Amino acid sequence: MTLFTKSPCQIIDQEINPYVDQWEAEGIFPAHKVFKILGNAGFLGVNKPVEYGGLGLDFSYSIAMSEELGNIRCGGIPMAIGVQTDMATPALARFGSAELKKEFLLPSIMGDKVACLGVSEVGAGSDVATIKTKAVRDGDEYVVNGGKMWTTNGTQADWMCLLANTSDGLSHKNKSLICLPMNSPGVRIARKIDKMGMRSSDTAEVFFDDVRVPCKNVIGREGMGFTYQMLQFQEERLWAVGNILTMMENVIRETIQYTRQRTIFKMPVLHHQSVYFRLAELETEVELLRSLLHRATALYIRGNDVTKLASMAKLKAGRLAREVGDSCLQYWGGMGYTNDVLVSRFYRDARLCSIGGGADEVMLSIISKYMDTVPKAPPK
């Protein structure tokens, strides 16, 4: 077990936040350097097995870590870290062979390798079942062809947790998760995508042209990839909620500080009832969301299916983040429209929460199915 040398707060204050503006301007941050610092401190595998460098704690500690990372003064870097810890590696840690864990999980936890997740494609985002990338068996190898879109960490990653079709069966039973080294012949980074927000996080479009991967690189059982990915999504969505909660708190707090000293009509902006009432409403909503997150996490740790609650939390987080960003930016006036303040960056970055990891409409569809309110097709 790793002994902490620095707290997350110290790492954020000393190793990350002083460089955020630079990395935002450059459109990328040094993932290997930052991840190695976090890995050395033990923060890339808090709920991963001790034998592979993790701390062996339960998932609530991962949520606590996600909340702490919300103190980074941008959304891109926490998102990239979350991909490493709670999006690309949960299935590997839970279902992967000892050999795969040693080759991919251990160095990811230690910060020696950067991971990315290959699920979304140009024509298949939230509708995971419709992906087209194929991995066809050829002896003891798969030959992978296709492409992935919106790949966080994609230009810097050492390996990808790839979801691909490994047979022609039913769309929910023909997919497998595969550990694919990104330096394999035939892997091509087509471009680094220019995004509205999350500027410091590199996002790539990746193509695979006859990429050969050993069949032993399959995580768990062949054909179970869709199920494994749905399980990964639950952790990803809860992690994202925890992370954006802290960001919303910080934006509200800084808005209070600014409006307290900024005057209009001979009184502080904050002293106008419409302003402090609205901030009180937003703070209340943030705390309610935190309660939902912690309830879902507690149930998840005890082995319950929290798909419905995780979807609710993700839906609410995306919508509330848009409310917080829009309302708080308004109170900053002209300053809120500049790139000099946190609220404008949050306004851009947080918009992704209602799109990435399952769009709001997909969350509503999942919730409706669990409520048994979706109209059923009439019998033929």
How much is the average pLDDT of 96-124? 97
Residue 331 lies in a domain: yes
376 lies in some domain: no
Q: At 158, which CATH number?
A: 2.40.110.10
Residues 47 and 163 occupy one common structural domain: no
| 3-class state of residue 316 by DSSP | helix
pLDDT at site 5: 67
Asked if residue 88 and residue 24 are part of one domain, the reply reads yes
Mean per-residue pLDDT of the chain: 96
Instruction: Provide the CATH number for the domain around residue 46.
Output: 1.10.540.10
Q: Is the pLDDT of residue 12 over 80?
A: yes
Q: Are residues 247 and 326 in the same domain?
A: yes
Domain that holds residue 125: 117-222
Residue 350 near residue 245 (C-beta atoms within 8 A): no
- Please report whether residue 305 resides in a domain: yes
In a shared domain, residues 127 and 110: no
Share of the chain above pLDDT 90, in %: 94
Q: Which residues of 108-127 are buried (b: 16+ CB within 10 A; e: fewer)?
A: bbbbebbbbbbbbbeebbbe
Q: How far apart are the first and last CA of the chain?
A: 59
**Residue 127, pLDDT above cutoff 90:** no
Q: Do 246 and 71 form a contact (C-beta atoms < 8 A)?
A: yes
pLDDT at 4: 55
Catalytically active residues, by annotation? 236
Take residue 293 and report the two structure tokens written for it: 């997150």
Per-residue CA distances from 323 to 71, 72, 182, 289 (Å): 19, 20, 39, 13
HSE, side-chain direction, 13 A CA sphere, residue 270: 13
377 part of a folded domain = no
Q: What is the mean pLDDT of residues 337-353?
A: 97
Q: Residue 3 above 60 pLDDT?
A: no
Domain count within the chain: 3
Q: Domain boundary at 165, 190, 222, which? A: 222
Is 80 exceeded by the pLDDT of residue 231? yes
> Quick one: pLDDT at residue 70?
98
Residue 284 pLDDT exceeds 70: yes
- Per residue in 51-61, pLDDT (tens digit) is 999 999 999 99
Say if 249 falls within a structural domain.
yes
H/E stretch holding 116 reads strand 115-118
CB 191 within 8 A of CB 117: no
Q: Is residue 379 part of a domain?
A: no
247 with 354, same domain?
yes
Residue 177 in this model has a pLDDT that exceeds 60: yes
Say if residue 253 is in the same domain as residue 328: yes
Q: What is the pLDDT of residue 378?
A: 81
Whether residue 28 contacts residue 192, with contact meaning beta carbons closer than 8 Å, is answered with: yes
The dihedral of CA 271, 277, 281, 284: what is its sign? positive
Q: 2 pLDDT exceeds 70?
A: no
**91 lies in a domain?**
yes
Q: Which of 114, 146, 177 is the last residue of a domain?
A: 114
CATH of the domain at 334: 1.20.140.10
